[in-house]
């Protein structure tokens, strides 16, 4: 297997990230959304908790794990490719990556760190285009984030910008908006 579908992405200093969690402490593994709509998709967060706002305190260089665009127009994650290499032909359930209690999660994240030297990524949530998530699984990366506060809003806020993608990706035309708002 080649890793040709690992693209570079940079999250600029000052970028807002959103999450729901039980606390606002920096942890070794943290899921964030780039928009306020998709924070409810995080499986191990409190459903009725307010939305937390975090900002990057320095630029974060990470990876964009997206394989292509599906016929539906949604972006397709490539995380499952790496999961299959690590565990064989096992089907990936995104919940296995999000669940802290899953025994495969630690092994998979260790494999990603060891074999690909990757400590964070940005990808879609279950192949839904507007729901990009940033996942940090390194305390060093997580320390590049500051908790700002809480918001309660029905307004759709989105901090993901096409300019964050550093590589030329054949299936994305950077002249157009990356996501429909």
Q: In this predicted model, what pLDDT tens digit does every residue of 6-50 receive, in sequence order?
A: 677 889 999 999 988 878 888 888 888 888 877 754 444 466 778
Q: CA-to-CA distance for 109 and 118, rounded, in angstroms?
A: 9
Q: Is residue 99 part of a domain?
A: yes
Q: Is residue 175 part of a domain?
A: no
H helices of 30-121, where?
79-87, 94-98, 103-116
CATH number, domain of 50, equals: 3.90.175
pLDDT surpasses 80 at 162? no
User: What's the number of domains the chain is made of?
Assistant: 1
The β-bridge partners of 32 are 134
| pLDDT for the residue numbered 94 | 64
Query: What does the angle CA 172 – CA 54 – CA 13 come to, to the nearest 5 degrees?
Result: 60
* Positive or negative: CA dihedral 88, 94, 96, 100: positive
* Positive or negative: CA dihedral 158, 160, 163, 169: negative
Which residue range is the domain that position 114 belongs to? 7-164
Do 98 and 106 contact (CB within 8 A), yes or no?
no
């Amino acid at each position: 297997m080649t890793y040709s579908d690992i693209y570079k992405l940079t999250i600029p200093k000052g970028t807002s990230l959103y999450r729901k969690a039980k606390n606002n402490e920096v942890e070794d593994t943290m899921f964030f959304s780039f928009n306020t709509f998709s924070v409810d998709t995080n499986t191990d967060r409190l459903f009725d908790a307010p939305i937390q706002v975090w900002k990057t305190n320095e630029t974060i260089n990470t990876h964009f794990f997206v394989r292509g665009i599906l016929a539906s127009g949604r972006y397709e994650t490539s995380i499952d490719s790496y999961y299959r290499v690590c565990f064989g032909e096992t089907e990936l359930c995104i919940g296995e990556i999000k669940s802290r209690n899953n025994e495969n999660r630690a092994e998979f994240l260790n494999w990603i760190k060891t074999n690909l030297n990757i400590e964070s990524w940005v990808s879609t949530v279950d192949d839904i285009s507007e729901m990009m998530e940033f996942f940090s699984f390194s305390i060093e990366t997580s320390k590049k984030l500051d908790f700002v506060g809480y918001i309660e809003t029905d307004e759709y806020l989105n901090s993901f910008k096409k300019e964050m993608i550093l590589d030329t990706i054949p299936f994305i035309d950077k002249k157009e908006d990356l996501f429909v708002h």
